[in-house]
Amino acid sequence: MSEIRLVAGPARRPASFRRAIFAAGIVVAIAAIMAMMWADHAAKPARDAGVTVLYVGAEDCAPCRAWQNGEGAAFLASAEFPRITYREVKSPHLHDVLKDENWPDELRIYRDSLRRSDGVPLWLVVADHKIVEQRFGAAEWRASVLPMIKSLLR
């Protein structure tokens, strides 16, 4: 008479192990997607790298704070933002906007284009080291500055 043996199938892994494997798969997928996005970003035309937006404002400026918390925050989260260089010059007080201590050395050449009568918030759009748009006042962001940025990134 032959003997019959019962052989157990493969052991079932605990739920925590299966969750860990699933999570690892998700992490690998996210990493792959991010790598593809980075490759796409790195492949953007050199023209994108030549666009700089310089924001000039003051801490005690209500229109500046309104722009930063509204349209400025939306711009920082926009598709255009990663394609530009963005710099800020913020002074503690409106009357100090043009003082040397508020301007990094490499940005002072752009300060020379400002007039004492210019208000804040103020934006300079620089393409290939030349100012192509210079506007101040919250309404100018929508009317002139943002359209110029978008046109340079086309």
CATH of the domain at 144: 3.40.30.10
CA distance 72 to 21: 41
pTM, full prediction = 0.68
Q: Which tens digits make up the pLDDT trace of 68-116? A: 999 999 999 999 999 999 999 999 999 999 999 999 999 999 999 999 8
Determine what percent of the chain falls in helix, strand and coil, rounding each to the nearest 5.
Answer: 50, 20, 30
Range of the domain at 142: 46-152
User: Domain check: are 19 and 58 in the same one?
Assistant: no
Give pLDDT, residue 49.
Answer: 55
Give CA–CA dist 48/154, Å, rounded. Answer: 9
Per-residue pLDDT, averaged over 114-141, amounts to: 96
Strands 85-91 and 122-127: what pairing?
A: unpaired
- Is 144 domain-assigned? yes
Residue 7 has pLDDT above 60, yes or no: no
pLDDT for 24-79, tens place per residue?
667 565 655 655 555 444 444 434 459 999 999 999 999 999 999 999 999 999 99
pLDDT given at position 47: 40
Does 101 share its domain with 26? Answer: no
pLDDT, residue 22, reads 75
pLDDT at 37: 56
Sequence-distant (6+) residues with CB within 8 A of 84 are 48, 51, 52, 53, 149, 153
pLDDT of residue 48: 47
| pLDDT higher than threshold 70 for residue 10 | no
Per-residue pLDDT, 24: 66
Cβ-contact 97, 56 below 8 angstroms: yes
Residue 91 domain flag: yes
Residue 69 lies in a domain: yes
pLDDT score for 35:
56
Please give the structure tokens belonging to residue 72: 């400025």
Residue 1 lies in a domain: no
**For residue 151, what are its two tokens?**
């046109």
Main-chain phi, psi angles of 43, to 5 degrees: -85, 0
Residues 78 and 32 occupy one common structural domain: no
Specify the residue for token string 């209500």.
62
Q: Give the chain's domain count.
A: 2
Both tokens of 102, joined, read 């508020």
> What values do phi and psi take at 57, rounded to 5?
-155, -175
Residue 144 corresponds to which tokens in the numbers above? 């002139």
Confidence tier at 18 by pLDDT (50, 70, 90): confident
More confident of the two residues 20 and 49? 20
On the CB side of 39, CA atoms within 13 Å amount to 6
